Homo-oligomer: A and B are copies of this chain.
Amino acid sequence: MLTPELKSELTTILGAEYVCDDMESCISYSYDATPLYQAIPDGIVFPKNTEEIQRILRLAHQHHIPIIGRGSGTNLAADTVPTQGGIVMVMTRLNQIIEIDTDNLTITVQPGVLTQTIHNAVEAKQLFYPPDPSSMKISTIGGNIAEGSGGLRGLKYGTTRDYVLGLEAVLANGEVIRTGGKLYKDVAGYDLTRLLVGSEGTLAIITEATLKLIPLPETRRAMVAHYADLDTAARAVSAIISARIIPCTLEFMDQGTIQVVEDYAQIGLPRDMAAILLIEQDGPHLLVEQDITKLHQICLDSGATHIEVAQTSADGTQLMAARRNALSALARLRPTLILEDITVPRSQIAPMVRSITEISRRYDLTICTFGHAGDGNLHPTILTDARNSEEITRVEKALADMFATAIRLGGTITGEHGVGLAKAPFLEWKVGRTGIVALQGIKNALDPTGILNPGKIFTQVPTEQEGTKK
């Protein structure tokens, strides 16, 4: 509940309609897409413009009230769970596309615009915004920017980070900064744009973004290749890159995932196979044909037992839908699904997947693994039950072992989902003590009173790494 004074001040700024602190609303904003995490906020606000956000932040800064920025709440690291109470600031009313600039190939948007809405708007003008997080139908661009979201096309096109040219943001003290612009080159000062991308709401509230667009590829074609064992599939990935082909997507699914997706979608996936690769190439017609022919040959040479090439771009979309449905399919099996997000150098995919299999046996857990083989970003997904505390203890041990293995293989604890609350205890494993001190210094410089999304990224109690490296 908000204090009457605070509620009155917020109501003056926003109007009564856009300030809530009833229990139903507070419960609705007490969680996000991350299982196992929940905390009740004091209230929720729905600002409609930068000026309102400035006024709210000045108030919060003055009274040391936590502010948790939130779009659609699709994140998977408990980044929008108000773990220290405070006010959840929902950005969905800032939902305008401000401009599509076809001369400069940019789109300028408010943070509450849905990612899919951006795709549709620019594709109508034969332009392309490549980042495609799996949640893009419901995620907001502000959330994508705050999390540094990736997607299936990261290998060829990069991630959200690579498409943000400029930002307007409100700092903790209520002041507005503007970074970058419609500029492909700008080295005036440190790269604040990219510092804010992936800062998970802990450094500023993003209120506007200018994104880079590229020409829409003429066409796309997809194919699927079946593998009887994991190493053969991993060798195929290496062989594709060695042939100097960069597909727009190069996705991997293990046997567990194949079986579950096939149960759910019934699209003819091979239940008896150890792994499948879903490969898609886009670009000019001529080139896509050429690459698909080469990819077919490489998959054949690398020992695929079956290869199917989509005959049309629509068939391809259906094929790729298998991958995009993986999460929904897996979610049906058990009450709780924990979707992990480790990344390793591409050459380390086979050792990483083997290690995940070992870990699932060690802790007697069901772990299905799928992900972006092209960029080494794997999503081992643990099917469990939050109500079974004994099992959850095993899950936590398994996660720690996975993170330790990823780091030992030259990887990271999160490729595209963020650190949030869920991985804060493990951040030091990746960046080291010196890195934590540097990151905290930046946090303190920009948010000295610590009101922006407190408790996220950093933890008071880092998890000990000893004994977990296997």
Contacts and interface: CB of A to CB of B under 8 A. Distances in A.
Interface of A: 101-105, 126-127, 147-148, 150, 154-155, 158-159, 161-162, 171, 175-179, 181-192, 194-195, 197-199, 203, 214-216, 238, 241-242, 244-246, 284, 286-287, 290, 343-347, 372, 375-377, 410-419, 423, 427, 430-432, 434-435, 438-439, 441-442, 444-446, 457
B181 A190 contact: no
Nearest to A173: B434
Contact of A438 (B101, B102, B182, B192): B192
Given A147-B187, A182-B410, A183-B415, 6 more contacts: A105-B241, A126-B244, A175-B434, A181-B412, A192-B435, A441-B445
Nearest to A127: B244
Contact of A191 (B161, B346, B416): B161
Given A215-B246, A445-B445, A419 B287 contact: no
A216 to B, nearest CB: 7
Nearest to A457: B189
Given A191-B161, A244-B216, A438-B192, A186 B343 contact: yes
Contact of A185 (B103, B241, B415): B415
A184 B438 contact: no
A77 to B, nearest CB: 9
Contact of A377 (B126, B185, B376, B377): B185
Contacts of A104: 345-347
B435 A183 contact: no
B435 A179 contact: yes
B154 A187 contact: no
Given A179-B435, A286-B287, A444-B445, A190 B185 contact: no
Nearest to A447: B441
A415 B189 contact: no
21 contacts: A103-B238, A104-B347, A147-B187, A150-B185, A154-B184, A176-B434, A177-B434, A179-B431, A181-B410, A183-B343, A187-B417, A189-B430, A190-B198, A190-B203, A194-B194, A195-B195, A286-B286, A438-B446, A441-B445, A442-B442, A444-B445
Nearest to A448: B441
Nearest to A212: B158
A413 B189 CA distance: 10
A400 to B, nearest CB: 15
A215 B243 CA distance: 9
Contacts of A186: 343, 412, 414-415
A414 B419 CA distance: 33
A412 B182 CA distance: 10
A373 to B, nearest CB: 12
A412 B175 contact: no
Q: Which of A103, A178, A179 has the most CB of B within 10 A?
A: A103
B438 A171 contact: yes
B376 A430 contact: no
B190 A442 contact: yes
A231 to B, nearest CB: 14
B159 A192 contact: no
Q: Which of A186, A191, A198, A375 has the most CB of B within 10 A?
A: A186
